[in-house]
């Protein structure tokens, strides 16, 4: 891993997060249907610095859901490097 990229990994959010509506971990845990079906894998901060659930995984099924765009940052980084 290039050292400049490693530094960015430790200091910056390198994923695209442009959703306006999320659920807080507290509300997630209070919803019995959600917390019995999914477990929280990650949380993130929105533009107002409020914590929301950003990645969940089903407890008994091979399902993972994200509230961010794992593909977008890679595309942007490739464009910045001039890769088409």
C-alpha to C-alpha distances, 72 to 18, 25, 40, 47, nearest whole angstrom: 11, 25, 22, 18
* pLDDT tens digits for range 13-41: 666 666 678 899 999 999 999 999 999 99
For 26-80, write each residue's pLDDT tens digit.
999 999 999 999 999 999 888 888 899 999 999 999 999 998 877 766 656 656 6
Pick the residue with more confidence: 10 or 79? 10
Q: List the domain boundaries for the chain.
A: 3-73
The answer to whether the predicted template modeling score (pTM) of the entire model surpasses 0.85 is no
DSSP letters of 3-28?
HHHHHHHHHS--SB---S----HHHH
Whether 19 is catalytic is no
Given 69, 78, 79, 82, the catalytic residue: 69
């Amino acid at each position: 891993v290039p050292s400049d990229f490693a530094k960015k990994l430790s200091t910056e959010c390198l994923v695209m997060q442009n959703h306006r509506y999320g659920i807080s971990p507290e509300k997630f845990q209070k919803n019995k249907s959600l917390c019995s079906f999914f477990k929280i894998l990650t949380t993130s901060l929105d533009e107002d610095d409020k914590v929301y659930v950003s990645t969940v995984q089903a407890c008994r099924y091979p399902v993972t859901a994200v509230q961010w765009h794992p593909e977008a940052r890679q595309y942007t980084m490739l464009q910045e490097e001039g890769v088409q």
